[in-house]
A and B are shown apart, each in its own frame.
Chain A
């Protein structure tokens, strides 16, 4: 179980996270929703160890990861995988090398075994063998996301993090990526945190949804509970209403 307790982070005097409390139950997908720029990715970067909080705790199986030594943090990182917003595929490596990268770096598996696993993961993401030799620049946005998901899944993580996994994709590809996430979750039963503002698609994969607003979690519950939540901020976001108070230029 991953538990975040009273997490605070300030950038240039501005409190981006103002006392976040959130629990990610084991084996479930927790989705953090909220407007762009509200601090969803900042929250995720704290949990994966890329940012240090000003105060608060991030407990993974009872251990505070913000206080781990660099060696312990390295060991913790072997337990999770991240699907970054743009895929974060390595430009200089082709698709096969990108997906094989974690295995080549972190295991002593023979090349034949690595090839077998890479091909299995690419097939699982509905990617043809012809894409193996392509560079990331030669791929469409949807293919890039699926290759990145294959690279994440090849690590067989206990915990998965998804940072805006469908941003910039067309509706059919958005559904495809969410379907692949659901399928991989059913197969591996990983614990997951996803940050996204793609409503209502995220409700189809989420077990738990939390809404981040002005640095705090203002609502948390099952997708149904969030959809029927009485808070006008939550309802306004779910309905995609124009925020006149925030953006006066629209007037």
Chain B
């Protein structure tokens, strides 16, 4: 029993220490964005890697999410004779919750894992050490551009997800199930307020930073060999997805 408590305590301490280390890593990365050289080209490259390359998968996920929500929403709303509210139901769900969360999870699966693998391989093949010995700060050269790219790209991807999701809902609700096109968009216009959009943007900013922070941290501190990189990549996807959901609850309760 005492052993179990000791193990539990040790595990808790490790988690707290890792969270602290991650925050120091984040502060170092962000503060280096304010120190020359500013590396705008590297930031653009990372926006391409993290953002542009994730667009297709985000659009696909957004389209099917909007379609499923329209389908589910239609049959529920029809029981109360409120099919006209379908547009607002789809838009609110997407903008407030589904857009930021599912975009975050997709980015973590596609770009987060790639970031960890890339930095992890740089670590085990001594590329990070090579930067260091050339008096180039590896955090500034490798990590900082990725953090900025995450903060810029994820909100934009979330906006794409929302728009494509609304169009997917339109396709199913209006074109397949016969809801009035005017009612679909009018309901949306009436019910979606600026606060909903702001909330979605704040969530996507936080999720973007969280996912790329976890990905960079796990890659930077990867264990030795291919097994270390594989483990770090796995941890990135699991931890960032869990953190996205946990942050979602915290931020939703804040914006409610």
CB closest chain-A residue, reference B131: A90
Chain A contact residues (Cβ within 8 angstroms of B): what range?
20 to 34
Q: Assign chain B's interface to a size class.
A: 10 to 19
Q: Nearest CB to that of A101 among chain B residues? A: B134
Expressed in whole angstroms, the Cα–Cα distance for A77 and B134 within the complex equals: 6
A182, B134: Cα distance in complex, Å: 23
CB–CB B134/A50 < 8 A: no
What is the bound-complex CA distance between A105 and B140, given in angstroms?
Answer: 12
**Does B135 lie within 8 Å of A88, measured CB to CB?**
no
The CA of A155 and the CA of B122, in the complex, are separated in Å by: 21
Name which residue of chain B comes closest to A41, CB basis.
B126
Could you say which residues of chain B place their CB within 8 Å of the CB of A88? 125-127, 129-130
- Residues A106 and B125 in contact in the complex (CB < 8 Å), given A82-B130, A84-B130, A88-B130: no
- Whether B126 pairs with A85 at a CB distance below 8 angstroms is yes
- Find the B residue at minimum CB distance from A148: B130
Cβ–Cβ < 8 Å partners of A155 in chain B? 134
Residues of A within 8 A of B130 (CB): 82, 84, 88, 90
Partner pick for A91 among B127, B134, B135, B136, CB 8 A cutoff: B127
Closest B residue by C-beta to A78:
B135
Q: Are B129 and A74 in contact (CB under 8 A)?
A: no
User: A191 → chain B, closest Cβ, in Å?
Assistant: 16
Instruction: Let me know if B209 is at the binding interface, CB within 8 A.
Output: no
> Is the Cβ of A80 less than 8 Å from the Cβ of B133?
yes
Q: How far is the CB of B114 from chain A (nearest CB, A)?
A: 12
A84's contact among B121, B122, B129, B136, by CB below 8 Å, is which?
B129
Please name all residues of chain B whose beta carbon is closer than 8 Å to the beta carbon of A101 when the two chains form the complex: 134
Any chain A CB within 8 A of the CB of B132?
A: yes
Question: Does A149 sit at the interface, judged by CB under 8 A?
Answer: no
Task: Determine whether the beta carbon of A105 is less than 8 Å from that of B126.
Answer: no
> Once bound together, how far apart are the Cα atoms of A129 and B177, in whole Å?
64
Interchain CB contact under 8 A, B127 and A90? yes
Instruction: Give the residues in chain A near B134, CB-CB below 8 Å.
Output: 77, 81, 101-102, 105-106, 155
Candidates B125, B126, B133; contact of A77 at CB < 8 Å: B133
- Provide the bound-state CA to CA distance between A82 and B125, in Å: 14
Q: Mark A28-48, 1 if CB is under 8 A from B, else 0.
A: 000000000000000001001
Question: Which of B122, B127, B129, B136 touches A105 (beta carbons < 8 Å)?
Answer: B136
Q: Which residue of B122, B125, B130, B134 has the most chain A CB atoms within 10 A of its CB atom?
A: B130
Q: A84-B126, A85-B126, A86-B126 are in contact. Are A77 and B135 (CB under 8 A)?
A: yes
In the assembled complex, the CB of B23 is this many whole angstroms from the nearest CB of chain A, namely 20
A91 to B121, alpha carbons, bound, how many Å? 9
The residue of chain B having its C-beta at the shortest distance from the C-beta of A82 within the complex is B133
A81 proximity list for chain B (CB < 8 A): 133-134
What B residues does A84 contact at CB under 8 A?
126, 129-130
Residues 124-162 of chain B, each 1 if its beta carbon lies under 8 Å from chain A, else 0? 011101101111100000000000000000000000000
* A80 cross-chain contacts in B, Cβ below 8 A: 133
Chain A CB within 10 Å, residue with most, of B129, B134, B136: B134
Q: Are A50 and B129 in contact (CB under 8 A)?
A: yes
Residues of B within 8 A of A85 (CB): 126
Closest Cβ neighbor of B127 among chain A residues = A88
The answer on a CB contact under 8 Å between B133 and A74 is: no
Give 23 CB contacts A-B under 8 Å.
A45-B129, A48-B133, A49-B133, A50-B132, A80-B133, A81-B133, A82-B129, A82-B130, A84-B126, A84-B130, A85-B126, A86-B126, A88-B126, A88-B127, A88-B130, A90-B122, A90-B127, A90-B130, A91-B127, A102-B134, A105-B134, A106-B134, A106-B135
Give residues in B with beta carbon < 8 Å to A. Answer: 121-122, 125-127, 129-130, 132-136
Closest 7 CB pairs of A and B: A88-B130, A77-B135, A88-B126, A84-B126, A74-B135, A82-B133, A88-B127
